[in-house]
């Protein structure tokens, strides 16, 4: 009698444990996994004009295009931090521990990250959460950075002038990164979009203006073989070889060290609904 009671107790305990852990993973079809410190801002669909700077042998040239953000999405309020990257590393989702300078803390943005590394992190986060995380496109990044307002030539030149003023004041091309939230937030409560860290996007850079202006789908941009360079955005735009993580060997106009390239993530609710 007692043996039967013990077996029943163990069985019920295991069943309860399994149900608890299932609920920890999925609740009403929505992920309950939460990466510590990850806060997402909701971004509604809309339209704006995006101006792009294209440095060439004759200086700067600009072209503008109308952009339609056809579906709402969510974007992280801060860049992915050293602590968040190391969480991925500790459970085997990311290939190495974050590269961290002596002055940096776990709350600083993770940098010295290649495009491949950033993609690896989004795939891990998607797998453990059941949601669909990815990098933002350049269009999404600019739309979120300036809270839906047009991204103009004046906006770009203002960012460049501000960066040069900071460099002049510090007497150095190298700037220390700052902990998340140190560079202020915009009207949509999204922080550090134009701070000291450039951010990877999914967007390709081509040598042909025609290809750069061509619309590309998320599935196409997810293919690492689509192009040799990806656009980074921040307080200036550049294109960088997607594999680079240690030595700055490409990009246009900035001369920025890879020490200052990190990323933030998008939660693509439309893609998640389409695939369910």
Regarding whether 84 and 141 lie in a shared domain, the answer is yes
pLDDT in the model for residue 76: 97
Instruction: Verify that 12 and 94 share a domain, yes or no.
Output: no
**CATH code of 119's domain:** 3.90.1580.10
**In this structure, what token pair is assigned to residue 93?**
């989702």
Give the model's confidence band at 7: pLDDT under 50 very low, under 70 low, under 90 confident, else very high: very low
172 lies in the same domain as 50:
yes
Q: In which band, very low, low, confident or very high, does the pLDDT at 252 lie, cut at 50, 70 and 90?
A: very low
Beta bridge partners of 68: 47
Q: Is the pLDDT of residue 248 over 60?
A: no
Measured distance CA(49)–CA(268) in Å, rounded: 22
User: Cα separation of 227 and 90, whole Å?
Assistant: 31
pLDDT in tens, 179-221: 998 988 999 999 999 887 889 999 998 888 888 888 899 999 9
Instruction: Tell me which of 13-27, 36-50, 153-167, 208-222 is least confident.
Output: 13-27
* Residues 156 and 100 placed together within one structural domain of the fold: yes
Same domain, 15 and 75: no
- 216 and 110 fall within a common domain: yes
Residue-range definition of the domain harbouring residue 17: 2-31
Count how many domains the chain has.
Answer: 2
Residue 10 pLDDT level (bands cut at 50, 70, 90): very low
- Is the pLDDT confidence value at 18 over 60? no
- Do 9 and 49 fall into the same domain? no
CA separation for the pair 86, 47 (Å, rounded): 37
β-strands 238-241, 229-233: how paired? antiparallel
Per-residue HEC secondary structure of the chain comes to CHHHHHHHHHHHHHHHHHHHHHHHHEECCEECCCCCCCCEEEECCEEEEEEEEEEECCEEEEEEEEEEECCCEEEECCCCEHHHHHHHHHCCCCCCCCCCCCCCCCCCECCCCCHHHHHHHHHHHHHHHCCCEECCCHHHHHHHHCCCCCECHHHHHHHHHHHHHHHHHHCCCCCCCCCCCCCCECCCCCECCCCCCEEEEEEEECCCHHHHHCCCCHHHHCCCCCCCEEEEECCCCEEEECCCCCCCCCCCCCCCCHHHEECCCEECHHHHHHHC
pLDDT range class, residue 29, cuts 50, 70, 90: very low
User: In whole numbers, what is the pLDDT of the chain averaged over residues?
Assistant: 80
Say yes or no: 179 and 200 in one domain. Answer: yes
* Across 243-252, average pLDDT: 47
Whether residue 123 sits in one domain with residue 26: no
Tens digits of residue pLDDT in 34-57: 899 999 999 999 999 998 887 666
The whole-number pLDDT of residue 20 equals: 33
Q: What does the pLDDT look like over 229-247, one tens digit per residue? A: 899 998 777 778 766 654 3
Residues 19 and 117 placed together within one structural domain of the fold = no
Q: Which two tokens stand for residue 101?
A: 């300078």
Whether residues 17 and 153 share a domain: the answer is no
Same domain, 146 and 203: yes
């Amino acid at each position: 009698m007692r043996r039967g009671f013990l077996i029943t107790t163990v069985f019920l305990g295991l069943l309860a444990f399994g149900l608890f852990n299932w609920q920890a993973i999925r609740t009403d079809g929505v992920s309950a996994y939460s990466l510590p410190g990850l806060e997402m801002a909701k971004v509604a669909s809309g339209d704006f004009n995006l101006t792009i700077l294209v440095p060439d042998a004759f200086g700067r040239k600009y072209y503008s295009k109308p952009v339609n953000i056809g579906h709402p999405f969510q974007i992280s309020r801060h860049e992915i931090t050293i602590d968040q990257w190391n969480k991925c590393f500790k459970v085997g989702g990311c290939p190495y521990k974050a590269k961290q300078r002596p002055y940096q803390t776990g709350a600083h943005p993770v940098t010295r990250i290649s495009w491949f590394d950033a993609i690896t992190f989004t795939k891990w986060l998607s797998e453990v959460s059941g949601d669909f995380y990815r990098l933002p496109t350049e269009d999404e990044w600019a739309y979120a950075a300036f809270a839906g307002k047009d991204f103009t030539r004046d906006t770009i030149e203002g960012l460049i002038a501000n960066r040069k003023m900071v460099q002049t004041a510090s007497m150095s091309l190298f700037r220390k990164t700052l902990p998340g939230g140190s560079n202020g937030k915009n009207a949509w409560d999204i922080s550090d979009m134009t701070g000291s860290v450039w951010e990877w996007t999914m967007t390709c850079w081509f040598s042909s203006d025609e290809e750069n202006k061509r619309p590309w789908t998320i599935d196409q941009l997810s293919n690492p073989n689509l192009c040799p360079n990806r656009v980074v955005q921040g307080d200036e735009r550049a294109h960088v070889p997607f594999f680079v993580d240690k030595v700055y060997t490409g990009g246009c106009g900035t001369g920025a060290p890879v020490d200052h390239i990190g990323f933030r993530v998008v939660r693509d609710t439309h893609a998640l609904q389409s695939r369910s």
